[in-house]
């Protein structure tokens, strides 16, 4: 009994000691918090930059915190599946499930509102072919028939331009390996060609931006020697001259100095640690004639197809360009034109350009197709559609309009695990895709993500194929404008070929 009493007393003493220590610690923290509040109060009432904090010291700080947290809460708790921008939860979830190789069927009915003007509705055939009657034969599309080394491409969906620097080393490696598995091409973006692009052995489209990163001379112009060195890589199949991109048409690219490591600087041919700003346009290209000359020059030096990427503000300039090409000769035409959407994305862009400049792909693509058709250049110049086309229905729409290929950047970013945190310009991307913080990059394992890249491309092919078969054709490249209807005001829809009728040569 005496032993038990001693143990009870001993435990009581320990308990009282712990409680006393916790009470002391609690008082300490209360005192520390009070001190912090006093310090913050003094800072807030004396500073002159923020009126809210000056008038409501300490409490006013919660406004900024809640504004930051609101972005998080809206995404995960308050926004409906079809409400978010630029991509809603339903679209992202479709990509996530597809990339994981999982089931992406839905139950009970569509959650999409099918009545707003502009909605695409595909016209299903009354008697679609049976599965055993469908014989898909895709011989691909030949780009650059007048080149020494033309490119035969087959994939319906390809990876759009994302520079090494704008995205991380593991992200580039995952996309390269995934593109090889998916048998699609990968666009380097304007940041030059790195060994990470080449690591997967995929087909590559080398983009030449206005700063000529990767192929620039000390003065910032085009280095013919470096261009030939890039073209010597068998993986590099085409060259894309970037005139404009959807997020910032008319404005050169910007890569913050914080994201320019020595490795990135060496690849681009610039100084590390300093903001890298590209010119608003190529100094060599100030009119249509100079554009034709520059495309010809690059094609002659490389022997490979050359085209350009742009955003359409009006097709009048394109019509003039076509007239100049016809006069010069069709062999001088660009081998392809990539049309980016005015609502395209990037890591950092001025809001006025992001929101209000450039036609969206919905309006631009049919106008470009018709302009080329009018001048008899549709077969000569291939058209690549880019801009928020990340689901089978959106890709199928582009093929109905007349595109030869579709490219996507953000769709493949979602396949890598992007959660639309909207931190691309902060170097704090939580998924490791757009950051050069080694700790954050650690979460992105290229070998694992490469499979998801392949799965996403495969699901796009499968989904677009479903739509094509439902419309009564055996392959998506056989889709025509008559297979798609566009909802007008009052919920009525009109066939694409009536909305954009065939043009006469």
H/E run at residue 186:
strand 185-187
Residue pLDDT, tens place only, 244-291 = 876 666 677 777 777 678 888 888 888 888 887 888 889 999 999 999
Print burial letters for 145-177: b (CB count within 10 Å at least 16), e (below 16).
eebeebbebebbbbbbbbbbbbbbbbbbbbbbb
Q: Is 486 a domain residue?
A: yes
Last residue of a domain, one of 78, 105, 124: 78
Asked if 334 contacts 295 with a C-beta cutoff of 8 angstroms, the reply is: yes
Give yes or no: residues 47 and 184 share one domain: no
Shared domain for 73 and 146, answered yes or no, is no
Q: Which of 377, 430, 427 is nearest to 402 (CA)?
A: 377
Answer yes or no: is 383 within a domain.
yes
**Residue 148 sits in the same domain as residue 57:** no
Cα(427)–Cα(196) distance, integer angstroms: 20
User: Is residue 117 assigned to a domain?
Assistant: no
Q: How many CB atoms lie within 10 A of CB 2?
A: 6
- Looking at 55, 78, 101, the residue that finishes a domain is 78
Confidence of residue 1 (pLDDT cuts 50, 70, 90): very low
162 and 247 inside one domain: yes
Assess whether pLDDT exceeds 90 at residue 220.
Answer: no
Domain count, the chain: 2
β-strand pairing of 493-495 with 276-277: unpaired
- Top pLDDT among 371 and 8 is at 371
pLDDT at 52 over 70: no
- Cα separations (Å) of 339 from 160, 179, 402, 501? 11, 21, 12, 20
* pLDDT value of residue 129: 82
Is the preceding peptide bond at 86 cis, omega within 30 degrees of 0? yes
Is residue 384 within a helix (H) or strand (E), and if so which, with residue range? Answer: strand 382-386
Select, from the ranges 36-45, 238-247, 383-392, the one with the highest average predicted confidence (pLDDT).
383-392
Band of pLDDT at residue 471, cut at 50, 70 and 90: very high
Q: What is the domain range of residue 404?
A: 137-499
Residue 432 lies in a domain: yes
Q: Is residue 50 part of a domain?
A: yes
Q: Are residues 72 and 163 in the same domain?
A: no
pTM: 0.84
Cα 201-408-365 angle, rounded to 5 deg? 130
Indicate whether 56 and 198 sit together in one domain.
Answer: no
Q: What do you get for the CA distance between the two ends of the chain, in Å? A: 110
pLDDT score of 100: 82
Read off the pLDDT of residues 84-125 as tens digits, 9 standing for 90 and up: 666 667 777 778 788 888 877 766 667 677 778 888 999 999
Q: What is the reported pLDDT for 435?
A: 85
DSSP string, 73-138: HIIIIIS-TTT-SSS-HHHHHHHHHHHTT------SS--S---STT-EEE---SSPPPGGG-----
Q: Do 366 and 464 reside in the same domain of the chain?
A: yes
- For residue 345, the model assigns a pLDDT of 64
Q: Phi and psi for 310 in degrees, rounded to 5?
A: -155, 170
147, 307 Cβ separation under 8 angstroms:
no
Count the helix, strand and coil residues of the chain and give each as a percent rounded to the nearest 5: 45, 10, 40
What's the confidence (pLDDT) of residue 146? 94
CATH number (domain holding residue 451): 3.20.20.70
Does residue 327 sit in the same domain as residue 406? Answer: yes
Rank 202-216, 273-287, 334-348 by mean pLDDT and report only the highest: 202-216
Q: Please provide residue 495's backbone torsions phi and psi, each rounded to the nearest 5 degrees.
A: -65, 145
In this structure, are 294 and 217 located in the same domain? yes
Average pLDDT over residues 21-42: 84
Residue 110: inside a domain, yes or no? no
**Residue 375 domain flag:** yes
Closest CA relative to residue 395, chosen from 331, 330, 467, 333: 467
pLDDT at 270: 85
Same domain, 188 and 48: no
* Residue 124 located in a structural domain: no
Q: 266 with 147, same domain?
A: yes
Which one of 78, 98, 115 terminates a domain? 78
Lowest mean pLDDT across 96-100, 178-182, 317-321, 446-450: 96-100
Percent of the chain residues topping a pLDDT of 70: 86
| Shared-domain flag, residues 149 and 70 | no
């Amino acid at each position: 009994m005496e032993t038990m009493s001693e143990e009870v007393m001993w435990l009581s003493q320990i308990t009282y000691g712990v409680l006393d220590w916790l009470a002391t610690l609690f008082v300490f923290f209360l005192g520390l918090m009070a001190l912090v509040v006093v310090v913050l109060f003094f800072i807030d009432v004396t500073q002159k930059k923020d009126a809210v904090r000056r008038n409501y010291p300490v409490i006013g700080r919660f406004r900024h915190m809640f504004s930051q947290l609101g972005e998080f809460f809206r995404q995960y708790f308050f926004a409906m599946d079809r409400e978010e921008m630029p991509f809603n939860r339903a679209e992202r979830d479709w990509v996530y499930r597809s990339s994981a190789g999982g089931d992406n069927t839905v139950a009970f009915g569509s959650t999409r509102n099918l009545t707003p003007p502009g909605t695409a509705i595909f016209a299903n055939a009354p008697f679609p072919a049976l599965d055993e009657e469908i014989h898909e034969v895709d011989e691909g599309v030949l780009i650059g028939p007048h080149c020494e080394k033309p490119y035969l491409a087959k994939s319906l969906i390809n990876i759009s331009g994302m520079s090494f620097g704008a995205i991380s080393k593991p992200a580039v490696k995952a996309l390269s390996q995934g593109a090889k598995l998916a048998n699609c091409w990968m666009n380097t973006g304007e940041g030059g060609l790195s060994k990470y692009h080449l690591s997967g052995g995929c087909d590559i489209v080398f983009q030449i931006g206005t700063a000529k990163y990767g192929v620039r001379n000390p003065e910032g112009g085009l280095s013919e020697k470096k261009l030939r060195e890039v073209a010597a890589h068998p993986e590099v199949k085409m060259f894309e001259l970037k005139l404009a991109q959807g997020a910032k048409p008319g404005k050169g690219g910007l890569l913050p100095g914080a994201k320019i490591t020595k490795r990135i600087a060496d690849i681009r041919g610039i100084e590390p640690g300093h903001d890298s700003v590209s010119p608003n346009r190529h100094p060599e290209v100030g009119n249509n004639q100079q554009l034709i000359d520059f495309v010809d020059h690059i094609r002659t030096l490389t022997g490979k197809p050359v085209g350009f990427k742009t955003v359409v503000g009006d097709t009048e300039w394109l019509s003039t360009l076509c007239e100049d090409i016809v006069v010069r000769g069709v062999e001088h035409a660009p081998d392809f034109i990539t049309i980016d959407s005015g609502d395209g994305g990037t890591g950092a862009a001025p809001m006025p350009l992001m929101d209000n400049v450039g036609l969206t792909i919905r309006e631009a693509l049919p106008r470009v197709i018709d302009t080329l058709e009018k001048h008899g250049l549709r077969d000569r110049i291939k058209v690549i559609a880019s801009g928020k086309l990340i689901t089978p229905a959106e890709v199928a729409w582009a093929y109905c309009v007349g595109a030869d290929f579709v490219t996507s950047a953000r769709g493949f970013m979602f396949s890598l695990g992007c959660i639309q945190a909207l931190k691309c310009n902060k170097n704090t991307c939580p998924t490791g895709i757009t950051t050069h913080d080694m700790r954050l990059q650690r979460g992105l394992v290229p070998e694992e993500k490469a499979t998801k890249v392949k799965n996403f491309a495969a699901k796009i092919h499968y989904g677009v194929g479903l739509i094509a078969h439902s419309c009564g054709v055996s392959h998506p490249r056989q889709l025509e404008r008559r297979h798609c209807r566009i909802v007008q005001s009052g919920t009525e829809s009109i066939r694409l070929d009536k909305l954009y009728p065939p043009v006469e040569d």
